[in-house]
Every structure is written in C-alpha cells, then in structure tokens.
C-alpha cells in the first residue's frame, strides 16, 4: 500500500514537471514568433533602402544621358556654322584646326567617361543582383544585429537544453527511484522557478538590445541618405559646370583651357565615387560572408532545436507510455481486487452454507441425543446405587479369590515338587545313557584327520598323494610307502574336506562328560605340518577343538545353572626337553616338578603351577593368549619350538549339585604334541639330537603306557616321561582318551604317515576298561 502511495505521489510530481515543460515550450514558441515578426520588419526596411539606392542610380543615369546629349549637340554644332545655340565667329584655318583637335580630345575624353559610366553601371547592376540574391535567401538588415540575435538565440537554446536535461534527469529519477524525499523535489522546483525568472530577465534584456539595434539601423539609414544626397549635389555641380562650359563663347584656347580645368575635377569626383563604390562593395562582400556564416549557424541551431523537439516528443511518448502502463497496472490491480473480493465473498458464502448445514446437523443430533441423555441419566443413577452396593460385594469376592488362590498355590507347589523329582530322575537317566554311549564307543578313541593339500603345497609343486580312503567306509585309510600299500582300521577317519565343526561334534559327548566328573585327554599326534595346531587351536575365523570345547562346556553349565554350580580353573604348561614350564606363571622360565599330593590321597600335583579360576569364556581367551605370549618369549623361533615341545591346556571343572550338595571333579586335558617325525634318523647332532631324543622318549612313553594298559599289566610306566607322569590320573583306568592322528596326503610324507598310522593302530587296540567318575564319598550312588 505504502508502495502504491509513494508511486502516486511521484506520478503527481511527474505531471507537474510535465506541465512546466509544456509552459517552457509555449514560451519558446511565443519568442520564436516574436523574432520572426522582427525579422519581417527588418526585411521590409532593407528593401526600401535598396529601392532608394536604385532611384538615386537612375537619377544619376538620367544626368549622364543629359550630359551625353549635350556633348552630341556640341559635336553637331561644329559643322553648321549657323547654329543658333552656339554662334561661331569667323575662324582662321589654324584656329579651326585647333578646335577640331580639342573637340576630338573632348570626344575621346567623353567616350572614356561614357565607358567608365557604363562599367560603373554594370558594377552597380551586379552589386544590385548580388544584393537581391542575398535578400532573396535571407532578409536581414544589420550584420551585427543578426549576429547578436543568433548568439542570443544559441544561448537561449543552450539554456533551454539545460532545462530539458534537468527535466529529463528528474523524469529518470522518478522512473527509477521510488522513494525520494519530497523536500528535495521542492528544492528542485524552487531552482527551476529561479531559472525561469532568470530566463525572463535575459529575454527582457534582449528586447532592450533589439530596440537599441533598431535605433542604430535607422542612424545608418540616415547616414546613407546623407551620402546619397551629397553625391546628388556633386552630380548637380558637375552638370552646372558642364552647362557653363557649353555656354561659354567658342574660344578654342579658352574652351581648351576650361575643359582642361574642368575635367580633372570631374575625374576626381568620379575617382572618389569609384572609391566609395569600392568601399561599399567590400562592405557588401564582407557582409555577404558574415551572412553566409550566420545562415549556417542559424541552420545548425535550427537542427539542434529540431533534435530537442524530437527528444521532447520522445519523452512525451515515454511519459504517455508510462501513464498507459500505470493505468494498465491500476486496472489489473483493481481487477485482481474485485476477483479476490468475489472469491472471498463466494468462499464465505460457502463457509456460511457449510456452517448452516453443520448447525442443522448439530441441532438434529441434539434432538436425538436428548433421549439418550435421559437414558444415560437413569443408567447413571442405577449405577450409583450399584456402586454403593459394590464395596461389600467386592470384599466378599476378594476373600473368595484369596481362598481359591491359596488352595491353587498349594496344589501347584505339590505338582512342581513332583515335576522336579521327575526332572532329576530324567537328568540322571540321560547321564547314564550318555555314559553308556561313550563306553560303547570305547574309552580310547583313535581318530584320524587327513590334512588337505594346501595352496602352499601346490605352489611348491607337491601334489602327488600317497593316502587314499575307501568310499562308503569312514573308518579305514590306505597308505602307500615304498610300493607297499597298507590299510588301517581306526575309530573314525576325517576326510580332507571335514570341517572343524564336524571334527568337534564327534568328540563333544566326551568333552561334556567332564561336567559329570570324568577325566578326559585329547591328544593331537602327527608329524610337523600335519595340522595338529590347526585341529586343536584353529584359526581366529574358524576356531579348533580348544575353543569349541570350552564354548560347549559353558553352554552346558548354563543349561544346568539351576541344578549345578560349577567352578572352572585353568592351567597351561609346556613340556620342552623333558622340562615343565608354567605358561601362566609370572616367571615362565621356571622349571616345575611333579610331586605326590601331601594330603595322602595318592594324587599328583605340581607345586608352583598357576591354576587360575576363570568366570567365563572371555577370561579363558585372555589366559590362552597370555600363555601363547609367554611361550613365544621362551624361544627365538616360535614355529620350531612348537614343533619340538608339547603344549598342554588343562581345564578342571568342579561341580556342586544345588539340591543334593553332591560334588564332582573332572579334568579336560587338551594336548598339542610335538612333531612325531624321526629327526634322529637324519643324523642330527648336539642340542638338536637331544631334543629329538626327548621327543621320541615322551612319545614312546605315551605308546608304552597305552600298551601296558592294554595288556592289563600291574605296572604301567607312567614315570618314563614327564608327559605321561603329568597325565597319569587322566590316562589310567576308567578315563577317556581321544587320540587325533593327523596325517599328510603328500607322497613326500609317506614314511612319516606310515609311522603315525602304525602308532594309531597300536593305541586303537588298547582297552582301558569301563570309565569311572570321581564322586565324593558322601555323594549319591554311582550310576
């Protein structure tokens, strides 16, 4: 809105300025017409002057003609001696001769004069023609006047141009600037007014100057008339002189003298006249040139005026266009306003209609709701009466419910006791069947895992194999060595494709029997590189038996959480060169010894061996990595060390039955044996030979212990090696053992493969007898 108001204000200012411009234009037109009138009067005066000059020249011509006639008569009088005008005295022949001579000289002189006069006349005529031409093209009287007037006109034009420039600037400002303070516009108006006043005063001055110039022109005219009068006077004097000469007696000597005296005067006057004429001619030519220049200037100023007029017309058309646009805009806005008003009225009408409809709907609903309200009121009153009765009814109901709940709880507790008894019975049965299943499979299980040909083997070009299996049989394996083939029958043979998961599932029941108080040993046997560590430890992305066994134990412990409470302890040792080292101890370099337990139970124990009680898998993993680190610090080459030492991880699980208080204790021994290759045969010496001998000794001892057990000998040589001595209570009668024999498929390893399989076969045939549980004396009867 404010925008529109400011626009209208500017529009008003613009109109005012337009009016001012119109005023200036009309004033200019008036001035021009006034100047044209002045020019016309000046032209008339000039024509009059020229006519006067012409009449003077005509009168001069008349005088000359008369003089000529006189001269002719004088010439005619010479022959008839009886001329009445010039009566000739009787002359002598010498006197006549002289007269004739003087007359002929006069004639020559007269002819000369005539020629001069005709030349002058021609000059005059030409001058007149030039003047007429000038008068035809430009009717101007005084050069100085015209110059001044044209100068004034130019100045005025300049002033007008400036005014127009100012007006134009103002118009542009109005078009572009929307918010100009009105004070500035008022100031500009004031400035314009003062300019107009200045122009008016200058106009007044010019008029005065014009009057002065007119006075000068009349003075000039008067001077010219004076000049002409003087010339007339001279001509008249000349005529009189001529007449007096003609009237003189025909005294040849005298005449000749008179003519001699008279002719220089005439000549002088003629010369003077010529000079004056020349001066006039020069003035005329200079005036012509000035006139030319002024005409050009006038033309230029007229062109400028025309250009300015064009500009004014253009501004006018622009203003008209702006006005049209403004009108259009106003019309458009008005149309929009009308449309909006119309729309608003329509929408309000619609809204009103909708409201009316809603009102009628509400009224209708109100009419229908009233009976409902009445019904509700009655309902409410009846409900209130019911609520009043409710509290008594509620208390009685609660009493009844409490009684019913008490009877239900006593029934439920009886049933749950029954269920618990049944559950415990079921658990015991499950354990019994599990034990029977394990025993059916044998207390010592010999499994064989074939290591697949790895990418590293392929890179080395070792791809020919010496081991094969029979399709359809999962317990036999055939090895070829030095042209001979031998088939071995074991408890289970895992093909190269067997996964870690499949291998573990086979021994899972044995592992879980620890929780029931059994001691379990799992050995990985085989030459270096046959996959012992892979089977026991595995790789981070696919863990081996150790990790999976611990996971399964914890899973089972969680499952039995309500009935049994277990505690788990962990120890990790390395047996290298028949020396036991504690890998969880603070000083892993320290040697440990195996001793009989001083409590008289006949059990063995290792004084100083770290046995850590762990709370969960996370802690076990930490301990295992600590053991690995400690093993690595004991040696320079981890790979070589691991191939020449036994790694033993022992998990002891003690369980307490929550309901009976029965205690069980089971041990899980996970052993990654040293490489079984026969190094001593390759002529090894020194430390290396000692190592090989020790390894051989311990593995041999393991074999002997198992053979003694098989033969049911009274003496089993457990003490022959640190390994068998340490595992004495887990390897003996009533325990469970798994021997995982790892073999390579490659032909280059065929010798070692054959040895490993022979060892497996030997162990497989050993009978350990039925396994037995370690249960406290106060515990329940053995299953």
Q: What are the binding residues?
A: 526-533
Q: Which does 526 bind (CB under 5 to 8 A by kind): Mg ion, ligand ADP, none?
A: ligand ADP
When CB distances are held under 5 to 8 angstroms depending on the partner's kind, the choice from ligand ADP, Mg ion, none that residue 655 binds is: none
Q: Kindly state whether residue 457 participates in binding ligand ADP, applying the rule CB under 6 A.
A: no
Give which of Mg ion, ligand ADP, none residue 245 binds (C-beta under 5 to 8 Å, depending on kind): none
Q: Which does residue 585 bind out of ligand ADP, Mg ion, none, counting CB within 5 to 8 angstroms by kind?
A: none
Minimum distance from CB of 529 to Mg ion (Å)?
Answer: 8
Looking only at the bridges linking them, the beta strands covering 591-592 and 484-489 are unpaired
User: Can you tell me the distance from the alpha carbon of 549 to that of 565, in angstroms, rounded to the nearest whole number?
Assistant: 19
Q: What is the C-alpha separation between 78 and 361, in angstroms, rounded?
A: 153
Q: Which of 13, 530, 533, 652 binds Mg ion (CB under 5 A)?
A: 533
Segment interacting with ligand ADP, rule: CB under 6 A, options 55-63, 399-407, 530-538, 652-660:
530-538
Residue 603 Cβ vs ligand ADP, minimum distance, rounded to whole Å: 31
Closest separation in Å from C-beta 743 to ligand ADP? 10
Taking the least distance from each CB to ligand ADP, the nearer of 235 and 746 is 746
The yes or no reply on residue 451 touching ligand ADP (CB under 6 A) is yes
Distance CA 585, CA 612 (A): 10
Q: In the bound complex, what is the minimum distance in angstroms from residue 584's beta carbon to Mg ion? A: 20
Q: Figure out which of the listed residues 643, 669, 696, 756 binds ligand ADP, where binding follows CB under 6 A.
A: 643
448: β partners: 493, 741
Our CB check for ligand ADP shows the closer of 518 and 525 to be: 525
Q: For residues 124 and 467, which CB has a smaller minimum distance to ligand ADP in the complex? A: 467
Beta carbon nearer to Mg ion, 532 or 548: 532
Q: Which of 660, 584, 661, 581 is nearest to 622 (CA)?
A: 584
Q: Which amino acids are annotated as binding site for ATP, given as ranges?
A: 526-533
Joined tokens for residue 35: 């100047």
**Comparing C-alpha atoms, which of 272, 244, 239, 273 is closest to residue 68?**
239
Shortest-Cβ-distance residue relative to Mg ion:
533
- Among 529, 585, 627, 666, interactor with ligand ADP by CB under 6 A: 529
The Cα 427–Cα 181 span in angstroms is 105
Give CA–CA dist 63/238, Å, rounded. 10
H helical segments located in 442-499: 455-459
- State the number of binding residues for Mg ion (CB under 5 A): 3
Least distance to ligand ADP from the beta carbon of 674, Å? Answer: 9
| Residue in 139, 781, 16, 10 with CA at minimum distance from that of residue 428 | 781
d(CA 24, CA 316): 14
Chain positions 628 to 687 lying near Mg ion, rule: CB under 5 A, are 642
Instruction: List all residues 6 or more positions away from 279 whose beta carbon is below 8 Å from its beta carbon.
Output: none
Binds ligand ADP by CB under 6 A, chosen from 123, 202, 305, 454? 454
* 535 lies in the binding site for Mg ion (CB under 5 A): no
Q: Read off the DSSP letter of residue 244.
A: H
Q: How far is CA 351 from CA 158, 278, 439, 640, in A?
A: 69, 107, 93, 96
Query: How long a stretch of residues is the chain?
Result: 783
> Look-up: residue for tokens 């017409």?
33
Contact of residue 544 among Mg ion, ligand ADP, none (CB under 5-8 Å per partner type) = none
Binding mask 531-550 for ligand ADP (x = CB under 6 A): xxxx----------------
Give the torsion sign (CA, 93, 95, 100, 101): positive
Min. distance of Cβ 744 from ligand ADP in angstroms?
Answer: 9
Q: Among residues 526 and 655, whose Cβ is nearest to ligand ADP? A: 526
Q: What's the rounded Cα separation, in Å, for the pair 467 and 452?
A: 11
13 binds, among ligand ADP, Mg ion, none (CB under 5 to 8 A by kind): none
CB of 638 to Mg ion, least distance (A): 10
Taking CA atoms, 594 is separated from 148, 568, 597, 606, in Å, by 145, 22, 9, 5
Long-range contacts of 696-702 (CB under 8 A, 24+ apart): 697/578, 697/721, 698/575, 698/578, 698/646, 698/674, 698/722, 698/723, 698/724, 699/525, 699/673, 699/674, 699/759, 702/523
Give the number of other CB atoms < 10 A from CB of residue 587: 9
Which stretches of the chain bind ligand ADP, using CB under 6 A? 451-452, 454, 526, 528-534, 643, 742
Which stretches of the chain bind Mg ion, using CB under 5 A? 532-533, 642
């Amino acid at each position: 809105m404010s925008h529109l108001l400011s626009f209208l204000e500017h529009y008003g200012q613009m109109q005012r300025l337009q009016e001012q411009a119109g005023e200036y234009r009309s004033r200019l037109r008036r001035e021009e017409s006034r100047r044209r009138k002045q020019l016309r009067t000046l032209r008339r005066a000039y024509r009059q002057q020229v006519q006067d000059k012409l009449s003077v020249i005509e009168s001069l011509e008349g005088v000359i003609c008369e003089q000529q006639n006189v001269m002719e008569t004088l010439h005619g009088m010479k022959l008839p001696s009886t001329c009445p005008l010039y009566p000739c005295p009787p002359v002598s022949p010498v006197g006549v001769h002289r007269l004739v001579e003087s007359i002929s000289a006069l004639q020559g002189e007269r002819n000369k004069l005539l020629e001069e006069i005709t030349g002058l006349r021609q000059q005059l005529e030409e001058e007149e023609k030039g003047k007429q031409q000038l008068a035809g093209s430009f009717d101007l009287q005084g050069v100085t006047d015209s110059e001044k007037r044209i100068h004034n006109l130019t100045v005025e034009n300049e002033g007008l141009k400036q005014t127009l420039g100012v007006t134009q600037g103002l118009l542009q400002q109005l078009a572009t600037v929307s918010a100009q303070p009105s004070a500035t516009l008022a100031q500009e108006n004031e400035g314009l007014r003062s300019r107009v006043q200045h122009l008016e005063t200058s106009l007044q001055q010019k008029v005065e100057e014009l009057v002065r110039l007119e006075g000068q022109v009349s003075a000039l005219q008067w001077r010219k008339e004076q000049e002409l009068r003087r010339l007339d006077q001279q001509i008249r004097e000349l005529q009189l002189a001529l007449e007096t000469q003609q009237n003189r007696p025909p005294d040849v000597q005298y005449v000749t003298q008179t003519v001699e005296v008279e002719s220089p005067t005439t000549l002088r006057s003629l010369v003077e006249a010529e000079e004056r004429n020349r001066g006039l001619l020069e003035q005329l030519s200079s005036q012509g040139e000035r006139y030319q220049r002024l005409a050009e200037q006038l033309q230029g100023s007229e062109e400028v005026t025309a250009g300015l007029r064009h500009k004014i017309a253009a501004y006018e058309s622009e203003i008209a266009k702006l006005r049209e646009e403004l009108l259009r805009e106003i019309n458009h806005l008005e149309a929009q306003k009308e449309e909006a008003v119309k729309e608003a009225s329509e929408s309000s009408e619609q809204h009103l209609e909708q409201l009316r409809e809603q009102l009628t709907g509400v009224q209708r609903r109100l009419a229908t709701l009233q009976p409902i309200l009445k019904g509700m009121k009655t309902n409410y009153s009846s409900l209130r009466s019911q609520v009043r009765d409710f509290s008594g009814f509620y208390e009685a109901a609660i009493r009844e419910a409490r009684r019913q709940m008490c009877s239900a709880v006593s029934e439920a507790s009886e049933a749950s006791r029954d269920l618990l008894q049944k559950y415990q019975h079921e658990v015991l049965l499950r354990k019994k069947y599990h034990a029977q299943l394990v025993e059916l499979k044998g207390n010592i299980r010999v499994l064989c895992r074939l290591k697949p040909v790895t990418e590293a083997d392929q890179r080395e070009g070792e791809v020919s194999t010496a081991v094969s299996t029979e399709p359809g049989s999962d317990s036999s394996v055939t090895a070829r060595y030095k042209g001979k083939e031998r088939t071995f029958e074991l408890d289970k043979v895992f093909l190269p494709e067997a996964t870690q998961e499949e291998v573990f599932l086979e021994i899972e029941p044995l592992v879980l029997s620890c929780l029931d108080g059994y001691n379990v040993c799992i050995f990985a046997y085989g030459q270096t590189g046959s996959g012992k560590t892979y089977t026991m430890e595995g790789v981070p992305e696919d863990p081996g038996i150790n990790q999976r066994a611990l996971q399964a134990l914890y899973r089972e412990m969680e499952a039995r959480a309500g009935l049994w409470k277990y505690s788990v302890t962990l120890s990790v040792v390395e047996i290298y060169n028949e020396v036991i080292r504690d890998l969880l101890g603070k000083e892993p370099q320290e040697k440990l010894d195996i001793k009989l337990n001083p409590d008289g139970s006949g059990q063995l124990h290792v004084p100083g061996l770290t046995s850590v009680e762990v709370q969960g898998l996370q802690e076990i993993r930490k301990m295992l990595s600590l053991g690995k680190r400690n093993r690595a610090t004991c040696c320079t080459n981890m790979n070589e060390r691991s191939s020449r030492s036994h790694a033993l991880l022992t998990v002891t699980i003690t369980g307490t039955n929550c309901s009976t208080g029965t205690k069980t204790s089971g041990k899980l021994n996970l052993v990654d044996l040293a490489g079984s290759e026969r190094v001593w045969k390759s002529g090894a010496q020194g430390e290396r030979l000692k190592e090989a001998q020790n390894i051989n000794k311990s593995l041999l001892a393991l074999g002997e212990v198992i053979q003694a057990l098989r033969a049911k000998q009274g003496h089993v040589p457990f003490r022959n090696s640190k390994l068998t001595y340490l595992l004495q209570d887990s390897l003996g009668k009533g325990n469970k053992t798994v021997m995982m024999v790892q073999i390579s498929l490659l032909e280059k390893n065929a010798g070692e493969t054959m040895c490993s399989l022979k060892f497996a076969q030997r162990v497989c045939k050993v009978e350990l007898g039925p396994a037995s549980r370690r249960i406290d004396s106060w515990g329940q009867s053995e299953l």
